[in-house]
């Protein structure tokens, strides 16, 4: 066989290649010349090699027992010229890396191209504890082979046609709790008359087929998997203790039963979602929560049920899971079957494979619509209380607390933007005389008229009108220079005068008037917001000293340039 044909297998990303690589059945891809081009992990484990040590070695010269290669060599040669492929099943001894021999059941499948040319052979290996052919006839085991059998971790023994023991390895003697000398040449059914496995042995002997079964042994109180192989001289038996595996399986089944019970009884909605958003599992709670049965949701993309306003935010949060996070909690709205929007709070756990690749999400969701409504109501009430706390009860404009908060906010904003901020402080002229003349109720009414008049001149988004003191009012003007602020103050003075609120005890005018101080600064991080208040207060004092019913402003030359950090 000198014609080398290299098989073209799929790349690692191909699911068929992955199935071959991670299959539990030991397998290999071999060329006509015996070169191994691909060997899966199970075969490496079976023969004691580290992956990928078997790749590129010759199956005939390095893995086959020297006396066992003639049949396979002939078979490989025949398949090169054959028009149709023929499968072969045979028993051959394979050499492990540690030098020991292992008898394997080989299944060989030739693969042809469409034009009938041989491409490669696909080999499957099945581990079997057989006695080699020449030993079956002599009923004896060489010391080296006996040592090999005794190193096995599983029980192995052979029976003749009379069901008498003719060979046992050390593990089998331990299993039966009897010495080899005691068991040899004795019928197994005489030694163990109540054994429930006898029908399997009889069927194997009669049908001459391999029999595999897994049963519980009351005598050992363990689970065993056994394989019975018909021989020309009787039966070989391979016993493996699978109690731990069965216990794990039962534990998994019990956990699955508990999980399923919890899922089915839970009022929370439990879903499993693929990385692309497809729902692969939905718990029965979906009917109560959303009006959909699980079957109506499985296969659908869960984002198609999410409110359009929440999709982008939710998608952005989910992308954070790509190899970085394992769990998160999200609140969003979904549309129920009735069309109603429902608030869900979902605890999301990301599922990763061994390569840290995201394979999906498991979510537990509950209806928090009522909680959201309560939170919104609380926010509304809190906002209303906050407004009331910052509102002057008499004048229905901002109070001193509101003014201080707004001033701090505007100071920081204007410092960052390097834009002018102006303040008007105004005082009702001779207001004490007014109260003494007309009474405090009339004084309160006078204040309310003036406050309402000033507030009407400045919409909320352009200025803040607040009560700064007893009869002292403040107007904060964002992004306003001194010239504009002075014009606004003059407008206020004229407007109050035009109200013609009679004030016969005023020495300056027969009606109520005001005096106003104007200040304009460029806020800075190096100055306090109290700076502008101090400037406006000094300007107000100047207006009063000059005779009242007028405005004055505080002169700040090039304030923006001088208002820098100390050198």
pLDDT in tens, 259-301: 776 666 677 888 888 988 899 998 888 888 899 999 999 999 9
- Both structure tokens of 468: 């700064």
Distance from CA of residue 184 to its chain's centroid? 61
Q: Which two tokens stand for residue 34?
A: 């015996």
The whole-number pLDDT of residue 209 equals 87
DSSP run (H or E) holding 520: strand 514-521
Question: Can you give the pLDDT at residue 3?
Answer: 40
| 247-251, 291-295, 311-315, 319-323: least confidently modelled range | 319-323
pLDDT at residue 13 is higher than 70:
no
Q: Which of 76-85, 203-212, 243-252 has the lowest mean pLDDT?
A: 76-85
Residue 202 DSSP label: H
Task: Using the predicted structure, report yes or no on whether residue 6 has a pLDDT greater than 70.
Answer: no
Domains 15-127 and 133-245 share a fold: yes
Q: Is the predicted pLDDT of residue 186 greater than 80, yes or no?
A: yes
Q: Which fold has domain 271-372?
A: Beta-Lactamase (3.30.450)
Share of the chain above pLDDT 90, in %: 34
What band does 137 get if pLDDT is binned at 50, 70 and 90? very low
Asked whether the beta carbons of 147 and 141 are under 8 A apart, the reply is no
List the one residue out of 273, 322, 328 whose CA is nearest residue 302.
273
> What pLDDT is recorded for position 324?
65
Q: Exposed (0-12), middle (13-18) or buried (19+): which is 308, by Cβ within 10 Å?
A: exposed
pLDDT value of residue 264: 66
- What residue ranges do the domains of the chain occupy? 15-127, 133-245, 271-372, 390-562
pLDDT(334) > 80: yes
How many C-alpha atoms does 132 have within 13 Å on its Cβ side?
A: 18
- Looking at residue 263, its pLDDT comes to 66
Q: Classify 163 as helix, strand or coil.
A: coil
Give the pLDDT score at 75. Answer: 86
Burial of residue 566, with CB atoms counted within 10 A of its CB: 0-12 exposed, 13-18 middle, 19 or more buried: exposed
133-245 CATH: 3.30.450.20
Residue 10 — very low, low, confident or very high, per pLDDT cuts 50/70/90? very low
Beta bridge partners, 236, equal: 158, 229
CA 237 to chain centre: 49
CA pair distance 495, 475, nearest whole angstrom: 15
| Closest to 448 measured CA to CA, from 397, 402, 404 | 397
> String of b and e for 238-252 (b: at least 16 CB within 10 Å)?
bbbbbeeebeeeeee
Average pLDDT of span 340-345: 90
For 527-540, how does the pLDDT look when each residue is reduced to its tens digit (9 = 90+)? 899 999 999 999 99
The domain 15-127 belongs to what CATH superfamily? PAS domain (3.30.450.20)
CB 486 within 8 A of CB 462: no
| CA contacts within 13 A on the Cβ side of 489 | 34
Residue 33 predicted with pLDDT over 50: yes
Q: How far apart are the first and last CA of the chain?
A: 94
**The whole model's pTM is what?**
0.40
- pLDDT band for position 11 (50/70/90)? very low
Whether the pLDDT of residue 138 is over 50: the answer is: no
Q: Provide the pLDDT for residue 559.
A: 43
- How far is 487 from 481, CA to CA, in rounded Å? 10
pLDDT at 502: 94
Amino acid 131: pLDDT? 40
Mean pLDDT value across the chain: 84
Q: What is the CATH number of domain 390-562?
A: 3.30.70.270
What are the angstrom distances between the C-alpha of 495 and each of 364, 505, 550? 64, 20, 12
Residues annotated catalytic, as ranges: 471
pLDDT digits (tens, 9 = 90+) for 421-454: 999 999 999 999 999 999 999 999 999 999 999 9
What span, in angstroms and rounded, lies between the C-alpha atoms of 305 and 320? 21
| Helix or strand run (H / E) with residue 328 | strand 327-335
Can you read off the two tokens belonging to residue 182? 């005691």
**pLDDT tens sequence across 498-526:** 999 999 999 999 999 999 999 999 999 88
Average pLDDT over residues 326-353: 88
- Does 326 score more than 80 pLDDT? no
Tell me 306's DSSP state.
B
Q: What is the pLDDT of residue 12?
A: 43
**How do beta strands 551-553 and 514-521 pair?**
parallel
Q: Which two tokens stand for residue 264?
A: 């089915």
User: Can you give the pLDDT at residue 322?
Assistant: 67
What distance in Å separates the CA atoms of residue 377 and residue 380, rounded to the nearest whole number?
Answer: 5
What is the DSSP code string of 456-510?
HHS-TTT-EEEE-SSSEEEEEEET--HHHHHHHHHHHHHHHHHH--B-TT-SS-S
Partners of 427 in the beta sheet? Answer: 472, 515
- Condensed to tens digits (0 to 9), the pLDDT of residues 401-426 reads 999 999 999 999 999 999 999 999 99
């Amino acid at each position: 066989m000198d014609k080398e044909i290299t098989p073209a297998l799929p790349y690692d990303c191909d699911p068929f290649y992955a199935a071959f690589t991670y299959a539990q059945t030991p397998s290999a891809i071999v060329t006509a010349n015996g070169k191994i081009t691909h060997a899966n992990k199970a075969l490496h484990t079976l023969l004691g090699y580290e992956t990928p040590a078997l790749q590129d070695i010759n199956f005939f010269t390095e893995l086959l027992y020297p006396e066992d290669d003639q049949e396979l060599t002939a078979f490989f040669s025949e398949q090169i010229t054959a028009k149709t492929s023929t499968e072969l099943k045979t028993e051959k001894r394979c050499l492990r890396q540690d030098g020991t021999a292992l008898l394997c059941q080989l299944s060989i499948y030739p693969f042809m191209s469409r034009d009938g040319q041989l491409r490669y052979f696909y080999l499957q290996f099945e581990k079997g504890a057989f006695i080699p052919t020449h030993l079956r006839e002599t009923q004896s085991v060489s010391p080296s082979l006996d040592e090999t059998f005794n190193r096995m971790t599983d029980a192995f023994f052979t029976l003749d046609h009379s069901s008498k023991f003719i060979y046992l390895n050390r593990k089998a003697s331990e299993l039966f709790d009897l010495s080899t000398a005691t068991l040899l040449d004795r019928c197994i059914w005489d030694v163990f008359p109540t054994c429930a496995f006898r029908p399997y042995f009889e069927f194997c002997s009669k049908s001459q087929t391999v029999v595999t079964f897994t049963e519980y042994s009351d005598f050992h109180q363990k689970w065993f998997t056994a394989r019975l192989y018909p021989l020309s001289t009787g039966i070989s038996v391979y016993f493996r203790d699978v109690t731990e595996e069965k216990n794990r399986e039962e534990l998994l089944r019990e956990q699955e039963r508990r999980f399923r019970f919890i899922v089915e009884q839970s009022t929370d909605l439990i879903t499993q979602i693929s990385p692309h958003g497809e729902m692969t599992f939905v718990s029965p709670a979906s009917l109560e929560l959303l009006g959909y049965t699980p079957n109506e949701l499985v296969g659908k993309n869960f984002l198609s049920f999410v409110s359009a306003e929440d999709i982008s935010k939710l998608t952005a949060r989910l992308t954070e899971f790509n190899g970085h996070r394992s769990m998160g909690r999200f609140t969003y709205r979904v549309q129920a079957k009735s069309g109603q929007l429902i608030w869900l709070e979902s605890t999301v756990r990301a599922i990763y494979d061994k390569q840290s690749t995201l394979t999906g999400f498991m979510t537990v969701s509950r209806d928090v619509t009522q909680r959201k409504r309560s939170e919104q109501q609380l926010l509304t009430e809190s906002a209303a209380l906050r407004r009331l706390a910052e509102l002057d009860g008499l004048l229905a404009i901002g109070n001193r607390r509101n003014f201080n908060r707004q001033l701090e906010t505007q100071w920081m904003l204007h410092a960052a933007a390097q834009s002018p901020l102006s303040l008007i402080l105004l005082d009702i002229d001779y207001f004490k005389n007014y109260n003494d003349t007309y009474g405090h109720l009339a004084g309160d009414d006078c204040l309310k008229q003036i406050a309402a008049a000033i507030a009407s001149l400045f919409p909320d988004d352009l200025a803040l009108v607040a009560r700064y003191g007893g009869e002292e009012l403040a107007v904060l003007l964002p992004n306003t220079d001194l010239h504009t602020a002075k014009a606004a103050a003059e407008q206020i003075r004229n407007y109050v005068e035009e109200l013609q609120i009679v004030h016969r005890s005023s020495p300056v005018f027969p009606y109520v008037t005001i005096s106003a101080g104007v200040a304009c600064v460029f806020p800075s991080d190096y100055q306090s917001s109290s700076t502008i208040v101090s400037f406006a207060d000094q300007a107000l004092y100047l207006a009063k000293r000059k005779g009242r019913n007028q405005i004055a402003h505080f002169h700040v030359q090039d304030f923006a340039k001088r208002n820098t950090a100390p050198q």
